[in-house]
Amino acid sequence: MTAFRSSAGAPPTDPRERLMGGLLLGCTALAAAAAAAVIGALGLETVRFFADVPLSQFLADLAWTPSAEEPGFGILPLLAGTAQIAGGATVMALPVALVLAVFLEFYAGKRTASVMNAAVAALGSVPAVVYGYFALNFVTPALKGVWPGLEAFNGISACLVVGLMILPTIVVLSREALGAVPRSILRQAVALGATRERAVLRLALPAAWLGVLGSVVLAMTRAVGETMIVTLAAGNPTGVSWNPLEGVRTLTSFLAQASMGDLAPGSIEYGACFAVAAVLLLLTFGMHALGRALVSRGHPDGPGGSRS
């Protein structure tokens, strides 16, 4: 790394190298400009919105009904819906994902591991809209057999299927964290007369917990940003409900629904969408950064590690 940096510090003399450097710089600038444009457009409309609606109302109102006669501009109901879906999905995915990660890392034979890895990877490559239809047309009818009072659009079906969608994230990243625990520790534990189960539960999992936590935060980030499944399976009710048998409206499902209608640019509903989008971006950006930090800190080579 250092060698690379120091050689890159001197201006290249070869014209081909200079051309290459220019191209790379151009690509970087393009990506940065695109990101800046998104944030700029979002920020501009958000600032305009807050000129009309005070921030205090945005944070304190208990209703999000921007198109109503007496519009409510409270973000809390949407945040509550997002928290329900992301939290519920994580609660459903985490135990299964953790058991899978431990099994794949410490117990599965090579062949079993590669087959199951492929299966987990396949889960991760299913398009969200397919998951959404699956939730609406298979999971919800199946759940109706258990709870006849289940609404056609409900939170629990969305949680289950979003949980399925984020499962690979937790499995892959937790497995990486477990794999980074020095094998010498586990070997030494067995040499001290411990069973492999004890070595895994008492040493590997605690040593990897930061990375596991990071994988959960990153999986929740995906769940927070998930739109299609929630829109299709949980509907878009205006009220707030904590009953998982009823529909749920999240930041994303509101945005999906609102952007399908024709909102006049400059109208207050139009601005409201940007404000919601800004909140969503802040939330996912923050969670992503936190998750990444945890994953890299959890790695024994990272700053928080305990490499012996």
Partner 1 sequence: MSARDEGTRTAGDGAVPVLSAEGLTVRFGEKTALSDVSIEIPRGSTVSIIGPAGSGKTTLLRSFNRMNEVIPGSSQAGTIRFAGGDLHSAAMDPAEVRRRIGMVFEDAALFPGSVFDNLAFGLQARGEEGDLHGIAEVALQAVGLWSEDAEILEARASDLSAEERRRMCIARTLALEPDVLLVDEPTSTLDPAAAARVESLIHALRDDYTIVFATCDHTQAGRLSDLTAYLDSGRLLEYGPTQTLFTNPRNPRTEFYLTGRLQ
Which positions lie near partner 1, rule CB under 8 A? Answer: 109, 182, 184-185, 187-196, 198, 202-203, 206-207, 306, 308
- Compare residues 194 and 256 and give the one whose CB is closer to partner 1: 194
Comparing CB distances to partner 1, the nearer of 199 and 283 is: 199
Q: Is the dihedral of CA 206, 284, 79, 161 positive or negative?
A: negative
**CA distances for 191 relative to 185, 200, 202, angstroms:** 10, 14, 15
Asked if 307 contacts 293 with a C-beta cutoff of 8 angstroms, the reply is no
CB of 184 to partner 1, least distance (A): 4
Minimum CB–partner distance for residue 202 and partner 1 (Å): 7
- Considering the complex, state which of residue 15 and residue 193 has its C-beta at the smaller distance from partner 1: 193
Backbone angles phi, psi at 64, to 5 degrees: -115, 90
The least CB distance from residue 54 to partner 1, in Å, is: 50
From residue 49, alpha-carbon distances to 31, 36, 273, 278 in Å are 27, 20, 9, 11
Give the nearest distance from C-beta 109 to partner 1 in angstroms.
Answer: 8
Of the candidates 162, 139, 164, 284, the one whose C-alpha atom is nearest the C-alpha of residue 231 is: 162
In eight-state DSSP terms, residue 249 is -
Q: How far is the CB of 213 from partner 1 (least distance, A)?
A: 15
Q: Which is nearer to partner 1, 104 or 234 (CB)?
A: 104
Nearer to partner 1, 16 or 110 (CB): 110
80 token code pair: 């509550």
